[in-house]
Amino acid sequence: MYKNEKYGNSALEPLNIFSKAGAVAGLQMQIDHKLKRIMNAGLVDATEDTLQDLAGYLILLMIAKDNESNNIRESIHGGRSSRTSISGAEEDSEWDVIYSD
């Protein structure tokens, strides 16, 4: 979350100048890149930072999917969801992510 804030919340609110991918798709691409690097180089000292980045991207992906679900609920119900986003995640003890495809 620190790195995401350092980059202006670009993971959860992409700038979309070149790519029109949303937060979820963008994070999935980053995760694919990190996995490819590990696949090519193996799990060695040189890829330790890649594992840390991968863990961060996976956490951000869970947050992005939760935010996306909140946006869908808000558009259906016309009001604010009681769920939280990245800025208030520490305040919500029932924070969870539901995946569906």
pLDDT at 62 (0 to 100): 94
Domain presence at residue 90: no
In a domain, residue 100? The reply is: no
What are the tens digits of pLDDT across the range 11-62? 788 878 888 888 999 999 999 999 999 999 998 888 889 999 999 999 999 9
Output the six-digit token pair for 49: 């930072």
Q: Is 91 among the domain residues?
A: no
| Interatomic CA distance for residues 43 and 37, integer angstroms | 9
Residue 99 is assigned to a structural domain of this protein: no
Mean local confidence (pLDDT), 6-13: 78
pLDDT, residue 96, reads 56
In a domain, 44, yes or no: yes
User: If you average pLDDT over residues 63-85, what whole number do you get?
Assistant: 72
* Dist. CA 28–CA 36, nearest whole Å: 12
- How many domains, the chain? 1
Alpha helices in the chain (DSSP H): 2-6, 23-41, 48-77
Q: Please give the pLDDT value at position 88.
A: 44
User: By residue range, what is the domain housing residue 49?
Assistant: 2-12+23-82
**69 located within any domain:** yes
How many CB atoms are closer than 10 A to CB 54?
18
46 within some domain = yes
Choose the weakest-confidence range: 1-5, 25-29, 49-53, 65-69: 1-5
In a domain, 6, yes or no: yes
